[in-house]
Amino acid sequence: MATRKTASKTSSKVKLDINLNEKQIKKSSKKAKKQLKKISFKTILITLLILVLGTAAGYFALQPMMKNDCFIINGKDEITLTIGESYKDEGAKIIAFGKDISTDAKVKTNMEVDEQGNYTSKVEGTYYMEYTVDHFKYGSIFKIKKVRLITFVEPSEEDEKISANEGGNV
């Protein structure tokens, strides 16, 4: 059977006491300024050139990846329904950096939702469906959202006659 040895560890605390006086601060400041002056114009120019070229290369490298990106609402942006009718949401198509993230869309609305997931209202008025997505391209820097307006109106007399005739013919 193996025996286990315990290591004894000793440590000593080191106390650093740095007291810089004004003379030392001025001396180190002058030294830093001298080193900055040693940087040549060529070095600064090359650094800026590399920065600009790197930024341009990154931009052009991302363009093919983002060419098909979109955030659009499927179906019409404005819909008119009569009270009692329901609306089945068609959703939104959201593509970011070539990846479909439509399933991540969140819908905020002021309409009622029935047990089948359809949107309806018993009160006349204009309602909204606001689509947002939690993705850094569409939400972190520039808050992007799309809105669909749904207006519920009272049924007209013609609509009531047509529905009554259809009901009688069946």
Does 50 fall in a domain? yes
**Cα angle, residue 152 at apex, residues 154 and 113 outer, rounded to 5°:** 125
Are the C-beta atoms of 106 and 131 separated by less than 8 Å? yes
Are the C-beta atoms of 119 and 113 separated by less than 8 Å? yes
Low-confidence ranges of the chain (pLDDT < 50): 168-170
Are the C-beta atoms of 145 and 131 separated by less than 8 Å? yes
Handedness of CA 107, 108, 113, 118 (dihedral sign): negative
Do 56 and 91 have their domain in common?
no
Do 94 and 132 have their domain in common?
yes
- For residue 168, the model assigns a pLDDT of 46
Do 150 and 99 have their domain in common?
yes
- For residue 14, the model assigns a pLDDT of 55
Do 148 and 92 have their domain in common?
yes
- For residue 170, the model assigns a pLDDT of 39
- For residue 169, the model assigns a pLDDT of 46
Q: For 66-107, write each residue's pLDDT tens digit.
A: 788 888 888 888 999 988 888 898 888 888 888 888 888 888
- For residue 57, the model assigns a pLDDT of 92
State how far the Cα of 146 lies from the Cα of 139, in Å rounded to an integer.
Answer: 12
Q: How many domains does the chain have?
A: 2
- For residue 163, the model assigns a pLDDT of 55
**Residue range(s) defining the domain that contains residue 101:** 70-158
Do 89 and 151 have their domain in common?
yes
Identify residue 89 by its one-letter amino acid code: D
Mean of the per-residue pLDDT values for the chain?
79
Longest Cα–Cα distance in the chain: 105
Are the C-beta atoms of 152 and 82 separated by less than 8 Å? yes
Beta bridge partners of 108: 130
Distances (CA, A) of 124 to 22, 63, 78, 84, 114: 78, 46, 15, 10, 17
